[in-house]
Every structure is written in C-alpha cells, then in structure tokens.
C-alpha cells in the first residue's frame, strides 16, 4: 500500500544507506518510529556486513514506509483524528475514530520539527544546539498571530495531506520582478505564503537562485544554514530567507548588468550534493533531489514567478 509520504526509489535508498552507516536511535525516533518498523533493535545490536555497515536488508515492508499514517493517527491500537468526522465518514469507517485536538496544533509537529542535536546515544541526550527550529520560527510569524497553524498550509486537503508545502504552492504565491535604480539592477523576490525561514527543516536543504545577465555571465545565490564544524555542531552563516511582517523579501543585486533570466531551485540535499553525485548520475540527482520552482525572464513588466500577478 502506497502511503502519502512514500519516498521515490532513490530517496528511499539514500535514507536507508545513511542508516546502515550510522544506525543512531536519534534518527529512528523521527524517520521510522513505530515498533513494528523494527529498526530500533538494529541500533542496540546491529548486524554487521563487510565494511562495517549495518544489515537492514531484512527489514519489514512497513519499515520502508517511514512516516506513514499510523505514526500520527494510531496509538495503542486506536485511530485518532483532530476532529470528529462527519456522519458519512464515521458510518463508512471500519474502525472507531477517536478525537485528539492536539493533532491540529503546531506543538504536535514540534516532536519531529523542533529539537536539538543529539549528544550521547545511550542514554539518549541532546546538546544545546538546535538542529531544527521550524516550529519556533513559525511561532514568530504573522501567520501564527492571525490564528493559523502549520496544518493550515501543510494539511490543506483533509483527504490527502499536502505535507511537503513547496509542492502545493500556487502560481500566485511567489513574485519576482526587476528593479532598475540609476542603472543599478536587482531582482526582487517576495512571497507571503511561507511562515517560517526558507529553507527550513533538513540540515542540507538549500535554495538556489541563478540569475543570468545580458552578457551571459551568471550569479548564483545560496540560501542555507552552514554547519561548522560538524564534529561539534554549531551554526555558522545563516543565509536563509527570514520571515518579516508575514513576508519573505529578498533583493538580488547585479550592479550595472541587467538580469535577463532567473531560475529558482529547491535542492533537498544541496549541502551534500557532491557526496550524492559520487554514487548517482546527474540525471538521477536532478530527478530525485532537485525541484525547479521557476525558470524564465526577469522582466517586471511582463513576468511574475509561476504566472501570478505582480502586486
């Protein structure tokens, strides 16, 4: 059975490859937390293969589902929803549906999206350096003050969660246009549809903005967190887009060279792109780890990102 969170083949392979090399309980708690997924026993007593990696080839099919419906909606054999279902849904349901309003709150998301770097594994402890602060970022946003929640965007359709928000962004959600100030050019990017830093979450997630000028030269702007040094986690430069007054706004200055083409990409593992490309082809990387948001002209008079109307 395919779940709403099913990874593509290569995504899945990379996740389990990483676990074979570092079978840490802190990873299992979020990526495969169900007892029946049978990864925790490998943490305590990993079966070793040549090269010193853990043998997880004998894992159960449910293990490959990762974060499936049951992780959030099943506890102690009972099915939970954030609100009481309508009469028809309740009638058709094979199992009774219980209500837990916590499922509709940002605090529920925090168990996997608000935590610090792990310290020791046994017993499990954490450092004072945050690994993910997505929920904390959201609490500072205008959207939160207006009464919205994480679920407002990431669970728009109650029948199928729009979990990965970037896949559900509409044409009018982003705007980018050219500004000419005394022969000094800049492309301006803005959106009010993201209520946390962008990118947020995964350590290696990266936004790349590539601007091509009239003379064919290019400038590439990176938005990411830099982790330095990795042996003792601490954050270096943070070039992510930050929410201010409910919006993300960013100028990309190109001096006296006029931008003619803009390209915006999400790289799911951009921070370790080089490592991934050592074991996969460029085509495989682009198919599984890159999402193109926009590629086109930067002319403010006849262009807005993804076809929206410039404000």
What are the residue ranges of helices labelled H in the chain? 9-21, 25-31, 40-44, 61-64, 69-73, 87-92, 106-113, 134-139, 142-145, 150-154, 273-276, 282-289
* Angstrom distance (rounded) from CA 241 to CA 233: 22
Q: Which residues pair with 116 in a beta bridge?
A: 130
**CB atoms closer than 10 angstroms to residue 195:** 27
Q: Which two tokens stand for residue 62?
A: 């449910």
Q: What pLDDT is attached to residue 220?
A: 94
Cis peptide before 199 (omega within 30 of 0): yes
Residue 87: the pLDDT is: 87
Q: Please state whether beta strands 78-81 and 97-99 pair in parallel, antiparallel, or not at all (unpaired).
A: parallel
- Helices 9-21 and 282-289 sit at what angle, rounded to 10 degrees? 100
Domains of the chain: 1-67 (no CATH), 166-307 (2.60.40)
| CA-atom Rg of the chain in angstroms | 22
Identify the bridge partners of residue 181 per DSSP, sorted by sequence position. 184
Asked whether the beta carbons of 244 and 192 are under 8 A apart, the reply is no
The per-residue pLDDT for 164 is 59
79 touches 87 (CB < 8 A): no
The pLDDT profile of the chain, 311 residues, written as one tens digit per residue, is: 334 344 444 455 566 666 666 667 677 777 777 766 655 454 444 444 444 444 454 456 666 677 778 888 888 888 899 988 888 888 888 888 899 999 999 999 998 899 888 877 677 778 888 888 999 999 999 899 999 999 888 877 654 545 555 555 555 566 777 777 767 888 888 888 889 999 998 888 999 999 999 999 999 999 998 765 555 555 567 889 888 877 888 889 888 888 889 998 989 888 888 888 887 788 888 888 888 888 888 764 433 333 333 22
Predicted local distance difference test score (pLDDT) of residue 310: 29
Q: In the prediction, which pLDDT does 53 show?
A: 46
Q: Distance between CA atoms of 264 and 221, rounded to whole angstroms?
A: 10
Question: Which two three-digit tokens encode residue 37?
Answer: 């997924």
């Amino acid at each position: 059975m395919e779940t709403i969170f099913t990874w593509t083949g290569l995504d899945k392979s990379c996740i389990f490859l990483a676990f074979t090399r570092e079978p840490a309980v802190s990873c299992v708690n979020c990526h495969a937390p169900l007892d029946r997924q049978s990864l925790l026993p490998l943490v305590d007593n990993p079966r070793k293969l040549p090269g010193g990696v853990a043998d997880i080839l004998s894992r159960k099919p449910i293990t490959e589902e990762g974060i499936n419906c049951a992780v959030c909606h099943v506890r102690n054999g009972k099915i939970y929803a954030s609100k009481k279902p309508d009469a028809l849904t309740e009638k058709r349901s094979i199992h009774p549906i219980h209500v837990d309003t916590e499922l509709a709150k940002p605090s529920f998301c925090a168990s996997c999206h608000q935590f610090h770097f792990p310290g020791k594994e046994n017993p499990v402890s954490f450092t004072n350096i945050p690994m993910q602060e997505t929920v904390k970022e959201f609490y500072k946003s205008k959207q939160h003050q207006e009464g919205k929640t994480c679920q407002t965007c990431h669970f728009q359709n109650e029948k199928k969660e729009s979990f990965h928000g970037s896949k559900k962004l509409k044409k009018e959600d982003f705007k980018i246009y050219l500004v000419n100030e005394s022969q000094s050019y800049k492309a301006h990017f803005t959106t009010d549809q993201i209520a946390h830093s962008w990118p947020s979450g995964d350590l290696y997630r990266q936004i790349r903005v590539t601007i091509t000028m009239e003379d064919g030269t290019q400038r590439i702007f990176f938005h990411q967190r830099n982790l330095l040094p990795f042996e003792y986690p601490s954050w270096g430069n943070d070039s992510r887009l930050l929410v201010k007054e409910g919006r993300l706004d960013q100028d990309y200055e190109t001096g006296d060279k006029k931008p003619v083409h803009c390209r915006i990409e999400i790289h799911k593992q951009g921070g370790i792109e080089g490592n991934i490309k050592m074991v996969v082809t460029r085509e495989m990387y682009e198919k599984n780890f890159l999402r193109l948001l926009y590629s086109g002209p930067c002319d403010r008079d006849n262009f807005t990102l993804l076809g929206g109307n410039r404000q």
